[in-house]
Structure 1
Amino acid sequence: MNDRYSSAQIGLHWLTAVLVLCTIFLPYGQDLVADWLGGTGGVFTLHKSLGLTILLLTVLRLLVRSVHGAPHLLADNAVWQRRAAKAGHLVLYLLLLLMPLSGLLFGRKPVELFWLVQIDPLPLSDGARALARQFHLTAKYLLFILILGHAGIALWHHYRLRDGVLRAMLPRRN
């Protein structure tokens, strides 16, 4: 039984984590970075570009996971804990897919992917755009909670239970 995630899964996890944190930070820290990015428009160009990158990385993560699976680290835990872990991961993956899509859908202007490629907005009704925008703005709070919970539970496993769950997602030490 494998007790670690594959190197590809570990790399994709941590790359996604860093990009998610950067994406979350950008709208809140725009005063700090707007000058470097050519103004507020540049902040949101980067925010949207990172969001779409997260979408692609999440699809890739799911493909890699379908090939490599996941270690059976919680086999000795209570059924409710295993179910809670599965549910938490499912909601995290759904948000990593739906947040970028909803952000893309509510915009009326083309999205510039890293200032290189322009993606035209879809022809949606005002109601559909409003729904996508409301989902995006509301779901960010659920994402905040899940990220904090995910990190907190990983630390609880590492420091309290000492069961190797966090070590399974850390790069190997040589």
Structure 2
Amino acid sequence: MPSQAYSSSQKALHWILFVLVVGLYGLTYGGDFFPRGDPNRGAVWWLHISFGLLLAALLIVRVALRFVRGAPELPASMSVIEKRVARAGHLALYGLLIIIPILGILLTWFRGDALTFFGLFTIPDPFQPDRPTAGFIRELHGLAANGILILAGLHALAALWHYFVRKDDVLQRMLPERSTTTI
């Protein structure tokens, strides 16, 4: 029998991934505050790549947990079409969360750069630099990033609609549990 709420680890990963997506989007424009050639501009991209790799690693854990623990059933009050739209939306979010880091990795390599994870390890580029290919991948990466922000916004609006209009438990299933203990 499916649970009525996501596990604490699933909830934590949901919100951590949300913060990472928003933060990575912000870092994309953070480099624009510095002129080309400024080491700070490179540091912003280094952070973007490192946090992008962190997102990819946490996403693997999130997907594994989803397979192991599943997801709560949608409310019986939802129509078949609403349930299909909800499932399609989740699938699209997962798809974008998977494709964006893959495109980011390929972009980094086709630009001729190595992948580094906060300076802890480096994965050298396996490809020869290819500016036209890198440019094409950059466009796809940007489109997918814009797409995930739009889809995440619709996802949030749907959750708020469930909370304020439908008055069901869809939003509460992903919120942290309230502590009943006092200090």
| TM-score, normalised via structure 2 length | 0.85
**Which one of the candidate residues 117, 124, 128 is aligned to 1:120?**
124
With over 3 angstroms needed to count, the CA separation of the structure-2 counterparts of 1:33 and 1:133, relative to structure 1, is: closer
For 2:34 and 2:11, the matched residues in 1 are separated by 29
> What are the within-5 Å matches in structure 2 for residues 1-174 of structure 1?
1-30=2-31, 39-107=40-108, 108-123=112-127, 126=130, 128-174=133-179
For 1:66 and 1:7, the matched residues in 2 are separated by 15
Secondary structure, counterpart of 1:9 in structure 2 = helix
Cα distance, 1:73 vs. partner? 2.4
- Structure 2 residue runs of 5 or longer lacking an equivalent are none
Instruction: Give % identity.
Output: 39
8 A contact 1:106–1:133 mirrored in 2: yes
Deviates more, 1:107-116 or 1:123-132: 123-132
Cα distance, 1:94 vs. partner? 1.1
Q: Kindly provide the CA deviation profile for residues 20-43 of structure 1, in whole angstroms up to 9, marking residues without a partner as x.
A: 111111122346799xxx601111
Question: Which of the pair has more CA radius of gyration?
Answer: 2
With over 3 angstroms needed to count, the CA separation of the structure-2 counterparts of 1:163 and 1:100, relative to structure 1, is: same
Q: Kindly provide the CA deviation profile for residues 38-81 of structure 1, in whole angstroms up to 9, marking residues without a partner as x.
A: 60111111111111111111111111011111101233311111
Q: CA RMSD in A?
A: 2.1
Q: Kindly provide the CA deviation profile for residues 80-125 of structure 1, in whole angstroms up to 9, marking residues without a partner as x.
A: 1111111111111111111011011012211221122112123167
Secondary structure, counterpart of 1:39 in structure 2 = helix
Secondary structure, counterpart of 2:116 in structure 1 = strand
- Structure 1 residue runs of 5 or longer lacking an equivalent are none
Question: 4+ runs of 1 displaced by more than 6 Å?
Answer: none
The letter for the 2-side match of 1:70 is A
The letter for the 2-side match of 1:73 is L
8 A contact 2:74–2:83 mirrored in 1: no
For 2:126 and 2:167, the matched residues in 1 are separated by 49
Cα distance, 1:173 vs. partner? 0.6
| TM-score, normalised via structure 1 length | 0.89
